[in-house]
Chains A and B, each alone.
Chain A
Amino acid sequence: MGDHLLILEGLAATYNHAVRALSDISLTVGRGEVVALLGANGAGKSTTLKAISNLLHAERAQLSRGRIVFDGRDTAALAPAELVRLGLVPVLEGRHCFRALSVEENLVAGGIGGGLSRRAITRGLERVYTLFPRLKERRRSASGLTSGGEQQMTAIGRALMSRPRLLVLDEPSMGLAPLVVEKIFRTLKRLNVEEGLSILVAEQNSTVALRYANRAAVLEAGVTALSGDAADLRGRAEIRALYLGSPGESAAHLAALRGPSPANGDT
């Protein structure tokens, strides 16, 4: 299993020990791979990503079953800060910039989170500014006052500061103009190709995600419903019907996909 950087095995999770959010999630991310996590609203994408970064506790949720292995280590006992230092870094849904802090302070905070020295932080800033020149222009602005695209770049840049080996992004395209989305995905792909950064990205915008990903997994009510080669999935009719939007077909395909006993309890 040496080529798998991240392995999820049969994850189940609940909120407040009551509401079930995940029932059976399994997936892998290989070294140097871009994997897309697709699915409708409430399918469990965000919960899966939070479980990976051990952030469920902060939202009164917990894993009830299953195992997560990052780079050969079971992550159950690791704090989020330790995972960041090991190279597993999340970019949260809704960007979550430190709104009152300047763009540059946001990036520095990422460096501090990664435990970098002052020198390394300076070098990291250079690198992020090369990737996102726009951030250099805006570096003194309070990030809460920058545009949605700039905030997403700040959030990604902040995560890159701690030198991740696996970047875990939750809906980076949310609320952004198509051109900006394209630009962000292109930058991510470039990091993947040039520096071997592995990427796991949850997206509702499956068109874009499938175009940049090597592989994809589709979640359906807390279960991994499908997974496979991205190019393959792109061509498959039921995926297109379900997640690329053509409402007439989707009901029938949904029934076909779900099979005889649908998992329940999802929000």
Chain B
Amino acid sequence: MFEFQFFVEVLVGGLLSGVMYSLVAIGFVLIYKTSGVLNFAQGAMLLFAALTFVSLVERGVPFWFAIGATLVVMVALGVAVERVVLRPLVNQSPMTLFMATLGLSYVIEGVAQLLWGTQVHGLDLGIDDVPFEVGGVLISQFDLFAAATAGALVAGFALFFRHTRTGLAFRAVADDQFAALAVGLRLSRVWAAVWTAAGTVALVAGLLWGARLGVQYSLSLVVLKALPVLMLGGFDSVAGAIVGGLLIGAIEKLAEIYVGPLFGGGIEAWAAYVVALTFLLLRPSGLFGHKLVERV
């Protein structure tokens, strides 16, 4: 039997958790669009951000100061990665770059472990996770907060890319890297800006995911949640990352509730991949993307 109110509740819950996937996926898209690198280390960066923040707070650093300090650390990390690892590899094959970021993600995790230890930390952002009711549908307050934060971040980026010189340079580089080089745009500056943005995304996503799951090493595995989102939305589209995230979130929850029982449950973890793979066969470039993983 089908109960509409319950369906809506599952759907809304799914969409809101999808926002969290979008957030991780956007970090990928920003870097992929401008430099053609599929940055697998995005998950490790997210973990690093959450871990740094929690460790600072646990050592008595005030909340906002800890956020500021972590942001500085993330920007430094992003710029360092671009300069030390990726710039010398410019013009290498996409597979080389991908392997470099894969290796990098383990190095970042290792360094995080050295610096901050291995225990699991709780992260309290001071938002109660008490559900409230809208027209008979229960909505998680935390999920709503996460969605609003992600929305604000995306709106901020949109304004930045639309109205600033660096934003215009970013879009030019993303559009045609060779032409950008030829007209005299400084790619290294654009890349530094992009990695700064990716570091910021990692911080926000790390805090939200950390508050949800606890800050622990498996946090870096949320990248695996972002991959189906990217397959669905396209690797080079911010809009695609948002829509893809929402779709994957909704599909996961709905599949678990309505299809899962047929198989004895537990399909939430891989239902997204089934959808993404099916989609890959039908439309390889994703909903909004231009090309599949291929350097322009």
Residues of A within 8 A of B (CB): 53, 55, 57-60, 79-81, 83-85, 89-90, 92, 96-101, 105-106, 108-110, 112-115, 158-159, 162
Contact = CB atoms under 8 A, between A and B. Distances in A.
Contact of A53 (B172, B175, B182): B182
Contacts of B175: 98-101
B159 interface: no
B169 A92 contact: no
User: What's the interface size class on B, roughly?
Assistant: 10 to 19
Contact of A113 (B171, B176, B178, B184): B184
Contact of B181 (A80, A89, A115): A80
Instruction: Classify the secondary structure of B's interface with A.
Output: helix
A92 B179 contact: yes
A110 B168 contact: no
- In this complex, the member of B168, B172, B183, B185 whose beta carbon has the largest number of chain A beta carbons within 10 angstroms is B183
B168 A81 contact: no
8 contacts: A53-B182, A80-B184, A89-B183, A96-B179, A97-B176, A98-B175, A109-B180, A112-B168
A89 B165 CA distance: 20
B278 interface: no
B172 A101 contact: yes
Contacts, number: 77
A53 B183 CA distance: 10
Given A55-B178, A92-B182, A105-B171, 16 more contacts: A55-B181, A58-B177, A58-B178, A79-B186, A81-B181, A90-B182, A97-B179, A98-B171, A99-B175, A100-B175, A109-B168, A109-B185, A110-B183, A113-B185, A158-B183, A159-B183
A114 B179 contact: no
A101 B171 CA distance: 8
Contacts of B185: 81, 109, 112-113
Contacts of A92: 178-179, 182
Contacts of B172: 98, 101, 105-106, 109
B176 A58 contact: no
Contacts of B177: 58
Interface string B161-196: 000010011011001111111111110000000000
**6 residue pairs, one from A and one from B, having the closest CB atoms:** A84-B184, A113-B184, A96-B179, A113-B183, A98-B175, A81-B184
A100 B177 CA distance: 13
Contacts of B182: 53, 55, 80, 90, 92, 96
B113 interface: no
A162 B295 CA distance: 28
B170 to A, nearest CB: 10
B5 interface: no
A257 B175 CA distance: 43
A113 B165 CA distance: 10
- In this complex, the member of A84, A100, A113 whose beta carbon has the largest number of chain B beta carbons within 10 angstroms is A113
B137 to A, nearest CB: 39
Given A57-B91, A60-B91, A98-B179, A89 B171 contact: no
A101 B179 CA distance: 13
B184 A115 contact: yes
Interface in B90-106: 91
A84 B185 CA distance: 9
Contacts of B186: 79, 81
A115 B180 CA distance: 13
Given A57-B91, A58-B91, A162 B171 contact: no
Contacts of B169: 109, 112
Given A57-B91, A112-B168, A112-B169, A162 B176 contact: no
